[in-house]
């Protein structure tokens, strides 16, 4: 009786392994889901930014903005079990320096932008294996809009009080000098499969 059980268990396990081995990764099954996370993250961030700009101007927005981005990252990790963040070659916060994968995709976005082929809804999704772990990685560009210039534009466009706070909080800030329509960076999502 016990023997039969063991054989049955082995069969089930073998079948499970066979199935997972044969299961092809179809990125289109995941693209919409990840794009949903990206949109939710950016919408929440923008609404906090707008609310604080209205209530306390760029000075309040600067201080709140940084905490909000980090807090949202943490919330998504807990609720959706994904890592979501913003990355940029010209980063303000050193936490947002791209890793190798993110850097490659950012170069690709830059190349597309240079040829006029980068769209707001361009997305990249790939399955990668890192340290023996299968992960899905998703990236989407972030473009500069007019309100962003108050904190990311030319020195003359950045609000003086905001500039002061940025200088104090981010001594290695590289995220200025942008124009509307520039590629600012990307949203980056990683999920363990
Ligand atoms: C009120 C000032 C302010 C405004 C307006 C603002 N940002 Fe930022 N931005 C910041 C601060 C502060 C950080 C650093 C956040 C952190 O510590 O994670 C930042 C970081 C970022 C990052 C992450 C990469 C990096 O540089 O560290 C991106 C991408 C970004 N901003 C895009 C935008 C876009 C796009 C807009 C317009 C829709 C915008 N920001 C408007 C203040 C601002």
| pLDDT 10s digits, 46-105 | 888 888 888 887 777 887 767 788 889 999 999 989 999 999 999 999 999 999 999 999
What is the reported pLDDT for 22?
47
Asked whether residue 44 carries a pLDDT value surpassing 70, the answer given is yes
C-alpha of residue 93 to centroid of ligand 1, in Å: 9
Indicate the domain borders of the chain.
Answer: 27-192
Residue 164 to residues 75, 76, 161, 192, Cα–Cα distance (Å): 29, 31, 5, 40
Query: Which residue in 144, 143, 133, 106 sits closest to 190, CA to CA?
Result: 133
173 Cβ contact partners less than 8 Å away, ≥ 6 residues apart: 92, 166, 167
Output the CA 126–ligand 1 centroid distance in Å: 26
Q: ∠ CA(90), CA(44), CA(182), 5° rounding?
A: 30
Ligand 1, pocket-test mutation among 58, 86, 149, most atoms within 8 A of CB: 86
Query: Which atom of ligand 1 is closest in space to residue 93's alpha carbon?
Result: 27
- Determine the Cα angle at 188 with ends 186 and 192, to 5°: 170
Closest protein CA for atom 13 of ligand 1: 66
Low-confidence winner among 18-22, 34-38, 90-94 (lowest mean pLDDT): 18-22
Q: Which atom of ligand 1 lies nearest, measured to the CA of 70?
A: 18
Assess contact for 85 and 138: CB atoms under 8 A.
no
Residue 176 CA to residue 160 CA, distance in Å, equals 13
**Which helix H or strand E contains 122, and what residues bound it?**
none
């Amino acid at each position: 009786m016990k023997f039969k059980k063991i054989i049955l268990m082995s069969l089930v396990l073998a079948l499970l392994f066979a199935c997972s081995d044969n299961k092809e990764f179809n990125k289109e099954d995941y693209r919409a889901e990840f794009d949903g996370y990206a949109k939710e993250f950016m919408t929440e961030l923008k609404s906090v930014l707008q609310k604080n700009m209205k209530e306390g101007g760029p000075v309040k927005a600067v201080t709140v903005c940084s905490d909000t981005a980090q807090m949202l990252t943490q919330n998504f990790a807990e609720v959706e079990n994904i890592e979501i963040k913003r990355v940029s070659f010209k980063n303000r916060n050193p936490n947002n320096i791209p890793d190798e994968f993110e850097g490659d995709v950012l170069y690709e976005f830059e190349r597309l932008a240079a040829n006029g082929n980068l769209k707001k809804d361009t997305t990249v999704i790939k399955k990668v294996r890192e340290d023996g772990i299968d992960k899905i990685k998703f990236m989407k560009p972030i473009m500069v809009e007019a309100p962003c210039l108050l904190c990311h534009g030319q020195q003359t466009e950045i609000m003086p009080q905001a500039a002061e706070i940025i200088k104090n909080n981010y001594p290695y800030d590289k995220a200025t000098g942008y124009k509307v329509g520039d590629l600012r960076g990307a949203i980056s999502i990683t999920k363990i499969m």
